[in-house]
């Protein structure tokens, strides 16, 4: 079997990305702008994450968004979307309270984003904020994704 340099390079890029995501997920990244969300009791415990969502808050991002990452949870157990510049895809599970993204089971395209680098920085911050296990708090038309400490990492708005 002949493997092209491009295929080999893409495989290496994916391996490097998921190795980095594993390290970030397991060893954490702390932000000086941490937000903790305490459930108030009015959240819907039988939350549905299905559908398309636009990211409106990313822990660690303190500037206006140059692009809005998007994510879609599908009925077949797959999740896909745009991380700001590159496309993401992989499996997820949801038990009504907790979203789980198996480490190393997803994919990310690795193209260079046009512009002064702001999109790449936004994308990197988004990917750092998404951990392998996230608690879900639902508000009307919104999801708040918390890490295991209860810190808000992502806020999503339902796309209509």
pLDDT for the residue 2: 56
* pLDDT < 50 regions, the chain: 1, 3-4, 6-46
- Tokens 């996230």, located at residue: 134
Q: Which residues neighbour 90 within 8 Å (Cβ) at sequence distance 6 or greater?
A: 78, 79, 80, 101, 102, 105, 106, 107
Pick one of 3.90.25.10, 3.40.50.2300, 3.30.360.10, 2.40.128.270 as the CATH number of 5-158.
Answer: 2.40.128.270
Report d(CA 150, CA 144) in Å as an integer: 10
Asked whether the beta carbons of 156 and 143 are under 8 A apart, the reply is yes
Q: Across-strand partners of 58?
A: 154
- Total count of residues recorded for the chain: 160
Structure-block tokens of residue 98: 């907790």
Q: Is 143 exposed, middle or buried (0-12, 13-18, 19+ CB in 10 A)?
A: buried
- Tokens 């941490």, located at residue: 34
Whole-model pTM: value is 0.68
């Amino acid at each position: 079997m002949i493997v092209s340099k491009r295929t080999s390079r893409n495989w290496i890029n994916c391996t490097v990305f998921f190795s980095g995501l594993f390290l970030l997920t397991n060893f954490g990244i702390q932000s000086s702008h941490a937000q903790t969300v305490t459930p108030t009791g009015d959240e819907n415990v039988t939350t549905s994450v299905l559908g398309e969502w636009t990211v409106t808050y990313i822990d660690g991002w303190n500037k206006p968004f140059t692009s809005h990452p998007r994510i879609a949870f599908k009925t077949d157990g797959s999740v896909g979307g745009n991380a700001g510049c590159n496309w993401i895809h992989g499996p997820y599970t949801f038990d009504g309270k907790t979203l789980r993204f198996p480490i190393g089971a997803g994919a990310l395209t690795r193209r260079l984003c046009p512009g002064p680098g702001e999109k790449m920085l936004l994308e990197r911050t988004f990917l750092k904020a998404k951990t392998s296990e996230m608690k879900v708090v639902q508000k009307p038309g919104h999801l708040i994704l918390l890490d295991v400490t209860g810190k808000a990492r992502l806020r999503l708005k339902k796309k209509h």
